Amino acid sequence: MLLVLVSAFFSGSETGVMAVNRYRLKHLAKQGDVKAMRVSRLLQRPDRLLGIILIGNTFCNVLASAVMTYWAITYMPDLSMVLVSLVLTAVLLIFAETAPKTLAALYPQRVAFAVSAILAALLKIFYPIVLLVNAIANFLLRCFQVRVTGHAVEPMSAAELRSVVLDASGKIAPNYQQMLLRILALESVTVADVLVPRNEIYGIDLDRDWGTIKQQIIDCPHTHLVIYRGDIDHVEGMLNQRKVSALLLQSEVTEEALLSVCEAVYFIPESALLNRQLVHFQDQQRSVGLVVDEYGDLVGLVTLRDIIEEIVGEFVLDPEQDTLQVKVQKNGSVLVDGRMSLRELNRQMDWCLPVDGPRTMSGLVVDYLEMIPQPGVGCRIGGYPIEVMQIEGNMVSLVCVWPDLAQHDLPSLI
């Protein structure tokens, strides 16, 4: 029975120490927890740790088998050796393997901390034997061209970190969890996903009369204005509202005075990832830039605020403004502005419309139908029934979505 208990100790130790949460262990070790530091030292050389555990476990099992066989031959010679083997196998399997391993898997940290001192002592005592066994094992592995050194712990990928954050739902406030998930998603989101489209850029045409220009500056709701001549493809600079305040106090605003307070234009490729662009904004000490495509044509504008909103969510100063793009009807259908971002729509409504192509609802419908539809045209995209409600020029301005009738396992047809 003593040998079975010792074997159970080694079996549970193996599972407990190897299953302990490495990140929590590292955190506790940094805080000065003696047991955590001891387990960390053991895990620095897992080959030696496993060596002492397996040596002890194997020795106990073999010795238990020998003792059981000797006892059966001496005191019960008529007892079948097959029966003795079956009984010993059952005892070892249940009491020396399954039960202790299950307990250690349920409480890995407690088990690891409890056994660490004994394992550390045994490793020091039997270090030469462990070293010899590991050397022989490594030699055999090298014979089969298996590399036994240089295997560093692989860093966690973004997907794995996302899984960790999701698993910690009960320990992280929902808003903080969403922020962490959005930060992890920045490496897969490009500037093109969050930019202000070219046709929505608020700018000032220097070819217009100065009375109109001055009024535009006064009425501008943004902190930056694009200054251009003739059309927005001929940008002269970026105007910061704070710098132009003193200029407006002058009796006359001239073109030279306006251009003198303009900032140089900062261009950003539309394929730039948000996590990198955030760093570029910081390095360049910028907060706004014009986005260009691969041909150098202007496609939109992006600000530091747009990137921050990808992390913390939309800043809605006017509550009515947020409801203009999405309106839930009494019958369960949802009216959606065609200009609304698909990413924001999915996030706000917990939908799963495809975001690997067009970036707005209008673009999604037009791309799917391969034409500018008329009001009343319906389709099913990503399983969601969608009906075109209004058209403005070449853009779908309003659609109606029936999320309650979504069938994600059916082809996208109506």
Domains of the chain: 2-143 (no CATH), 158-187 (no CATH), 189-312 (3.10.580.10), 319-405 (3.30.465.10)
Dihedral (CA of 137, 139, 141, 147) sign: positive
The tokens describing 222, both together, are 């943004």
pTM flag (> 0.85): no
Which among 114, 135, 128 has a CA at the least distance from the CA of 47? 135
The tokens 């921050």 sit on which residue? Answer: 308
Q: For the chain, what is the largest distance between any 2 Cα atoms, rounded to a whole number of angstroms? A: 119
Which among 60, 56, 54, 55 has a CA at the least distance from the CA of 2? 60
Cβ atoms within 10 A of the Cβ of 113, count? 21
Cα separation of 268 and 192, whole Å? 10
Which among 369, 372, 379, 414 has a CA at the least distance from the CA of 400? 379
Give me the tens of pLDDT residue by residue for the chain, a chain 414 residues long.
788 899 899 999 999 999 998 888 999 999 999 999 999 999 988 889 999 999 999 999 888 888 888 877 887 776 677 787 888 888 888 988 999 999 999 999 999 999 999 999 999 999 999 999 888 888 888 888 777 665 555 677 778 888 888 888 778 888 888 889 888 888 889 999 999 999 889 999 999 988 888 888 888 888 889 999 999 999 999 998 888 777 777 656 778 888 888 999 999 999 999 999 999 999 999 999 999 999 999 999 999 999 998 888 776 555 555 556 899 999 999 999 999 999 889 988 989 999 888 989 999 999 999 999 999 999 999 999 999 999 998 899 999 999 988 876 544 444
